[in-house]
Amino acid sequence: MKLDNYNRGTNNSDVCDTNCSQWKFDQTFGNTIIEEFELVCDKAWLPSLSQSIYQSGYAVNGLILGYLSDRYGRRPVLWLAVILEICGGLSVILSNSMTQYIVSRFFLGLGDSGRGFGSKHRANVILLISFGSILGFITLPGAAYLTHNYRYLQLIPTLVALVLLISWLWSIPESPRWLLCKGDLNTTKQSLMKCAKINGQDVTNFEQQFGELEKHIKML
């Protein structure tokens, strides 16, 4: 039985030409998809494919979830995006084949966005999201070093998304702007009142102001 090392950073054409029955991998980084699914030689292109599939899921996200959020509301689509991300993450963790791993990555990308916000605060929110992404990239090497297993590494953001879903997302109200566009004035009123109280705004004249808004809308 011939054992050999495989290093993706070097020319391995000679290694791949040999008739190996088993591969010996560098254990420095612990359990990786390269080792688990033996992604060497004729399978060396599959990790790049999985990343491309993830990006395609991200692209489909903008096409499908954007339409669904306009039709059915921002809140249920935000829930859908987070649930897709959780299910995709769990599927990655439980993957027993490279095919399952790649499909799971698509659903991870599909649920990776699904957010919307007004133009007034758009720049600040995008900046905050970008800061979170940068912070994730900074902490990723440390998390990988501590876990030494790609399944445990994927478990971290999956648990974070699950905690957000349970502790925070359920309390987010529907977008008042979307409700207003759909003509649901009663729910719009409740949503605006809740937002005003959370943000510490004076609601003394809220009924009067909303009444004027309602009259204006009915005149359109």
Q: 71: domain CATH number?
A: 1.20.1250.20
Structural domain contains residue 2: no
Exposed, middle or buried: residue 139 (CB in 10 Å: 0-12, 13-18, 19+)? Answer: exposed
Reported as half-sphere exposure (CB side, CA atoms, 13 A), residue 64 has a value of 15
Q: Where does the pLDDT of residue 92 fall: very low under 50, low under 70, confident under 90, or very high at 90 and above?
A: very high
What is the per-residue pLDDT for 2?
Answer: 37
What is the domain count for the chain? 3
Q: Is pLDDT at 192 greater than 90 in this prediction?
A: no
- Co-location of 209 and 158 in the same domain: no
- Co-location of 33 and 91 in the same domain: no
- Co-location of 88 and 114 in the same domain: yes
- Co-location of 50 and 23 in the same domain: no
Q: Is pLDDT at 124 greater than 80 in this prediction?
A: no
Structural domain contains residue 4: no
Token readout for 77 is: 């689509």
CA distances in angstroms from 219 to 144, 182, 186, 213, listed in the order given: 60, 15, 17, 10
Structural domain contains residue 75: yes
- Co-location of 34 and 58 in the same domain: no
Structural domain contains residue 182: yes
Q: Is pLDDT at 179 greater than 70 in this prediction?
A: yes
- Co-location of 55 and 127 in the same domain: yes
Among the listed residues 65, 68, 69, the one whose alpha carbon sits nearest the alpha carbon of residue 85: 65
Structural domain contains residue 23: yes
Greater confidence, 198 or 117? Answer: 198
Mean pLDDT of 1-5: 40
Structural domain contains residue 210: yes
What is the per-residue pLDDT for 90?
Answer: 92
Distance CA 124, CA 130 (A): 10
CA distances in angstroms from 191 to 78, 129, 169, 187, listed in the order given: 17, 25, 15, 6
- Co-location of 180 and 96 in the same domain: no
Mean pLDDT of 70-80: 86
Question: What distance lies between CA 108 and its chain's CA centroid?
Answer: 6
| Cα angle for residues 33, 147, 79 (degrees, 5° grid) | 80
Which of 156, 171, 186 finishes a domain? 171
- Co-location of 79 and 160 in the same domain: yes
Q: Which domain holds residue 180?
A: 176-219
Q: Is pLDDT at 33 greater than 60 in this prediction?
A: yes
The DSSP output letter for 23 is -
Among the listed residues 4, 110, 133, 114, the one whose alpha carbon sits nearest the alpha carbon of residue 59: 110
Of 70-79, 96-105, 115-124, 196-205, minimum mean pLDDT range: 115-124
Helix (H, G, I), strand (E, B) or coil at 31: strand
